[in-house]
């Protein structure tokens, strides 16, 4: 694997790989090493996963990592659409079930219920689980508008008092789901979701952020070299003590030649 650039901005370590496959492989191996390191110290750990095509290569590499005691890991996901049919392939729980949750023997897997009759009660339920199982690791991505989980710029709050909440999705966020091939048209994309808040994600001891593709170049530039603010929610990664951002040459095209 060839690293094109490796640098630090504030506290954030940024690694740029030549290709998407190399990026995913390095990120998956790094996360796997951290899982094993933590499991050597603790009987069980808690991991929050993102569900998006951008995570495919990382998840595949993670599954190929030898020696992970999956039965010591409690798994969570960070967001879920509201109102999709239970078996819809676009559901984030279903996405992760197909790509990792059903592939290995986790100690437990905790799904967000986007079909819940009482959405506030569902937020309270999942909040309780996250308080019972504090996150050790978050494996995440960045949206085209700079969002992390479904904390779009206009709803993101670095000091959010909630852990899990219902949010409305902006048009750029919804269009990304079409661009990624998850939905055929924007009218099919739900307008609301349940999401973990930014403080809930940033409380994790370690964050591995994986961001491929040229469509993410502006978001990566803003996250790495823009103002640290809710205008680009992902910029909060620069305040985390143990966060690593993995990019490919396409997503990093606007930062490769900028002095770090």
pLDDT, averaged in runs of 10, over the chain (260 residues)? 92 98 98 98 98 96 97 98 92 97 98 97 98 98 96 96 95 85 88 97 98 97 98 98 98 78
Whole-number pLDDT of residue 182:
85
Spatial distance between the Cα atoms of 161 and 122, rounded to a whole number of angstroms: 17
Task: Look at residue 258 in the predicted model and tell me its pLDDT.
Answer: 53
**Is 81 strand, coil or helix?**
strand
Name all domains of the chain by residue range, CATH numbers in brackets: 18-218 (3.40.50.1360)
Would you state the pLDDT for residue 149? 97
Closest C-alpha to 95, from 125, 55, 58:
55
Alpha helices in 104-215 (DSSP H): 119-132, 171-179, 198-202
> Are the C-beta atoms of 17 and 3 separated by less than 8 Å?
yes
Alpha carbons 18 and 3: distance in angstroms, whole number = 6
CA 259 to chain CA mean position, Å = 27
Which residues face 45 on adjacent strands?
A: 73
Q: pLDDT at position 132, please?
A: 98
Cα dihedral 146, 148, 149, 150 sign: negative
């Amino acid at each position: 694997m060839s690293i094109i650039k490796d640098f630090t901005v504030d506290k954030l370590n940024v690694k740029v790989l030549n290709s998407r496959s190399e990026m995913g492989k390095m990120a998956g191996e790094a996360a796997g090493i951290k899982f094993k390191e933590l499991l050597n110290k603790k009987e069980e750990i808690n991991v929050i996963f993102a569900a998006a095509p951008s995570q495919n290569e990382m998840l595949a590499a993670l599954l190929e990592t030898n020696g992970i005691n999956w039965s010591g890991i409690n798994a969570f996901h960070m967001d879920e659409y509201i109102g999709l049919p239970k078996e819809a392939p676009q559901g984030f729980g279903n996405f992760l079930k197909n790509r990792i949750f059903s592939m290995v023997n986790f100690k437990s897997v905790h799904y967000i219920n986007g079909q819940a009759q009482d959405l506030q009660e569902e937020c309270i339920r999942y909040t309780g689980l996250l308080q019972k199982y504090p996150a050790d690791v978050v494996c995440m991505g960045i949206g085209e508008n700079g969002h992390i989980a479904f904390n779009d710029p206009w709803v993101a709050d670095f000091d959010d008092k909630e852990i899990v909440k219902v949010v409305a999705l902006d048009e750029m966020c919804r269009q990304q789901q079409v661009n990624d091939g998850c939905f055929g048209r924007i009218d099919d994309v739900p307008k609301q979701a349940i999401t973990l808040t930014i403080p809930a994600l940033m409380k994790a001891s370690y964050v591995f952020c994986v961001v491929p593709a040229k469509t993410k170049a502006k978001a990566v530039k803003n996250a790495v070299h823009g103002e640290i603010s809710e205008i680009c929610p992902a910029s909060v990664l620069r305040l985390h003590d143990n966060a690593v951002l993995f990019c490919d040459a396409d997503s990093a095209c606007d930062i490769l030649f900028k002095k770090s």
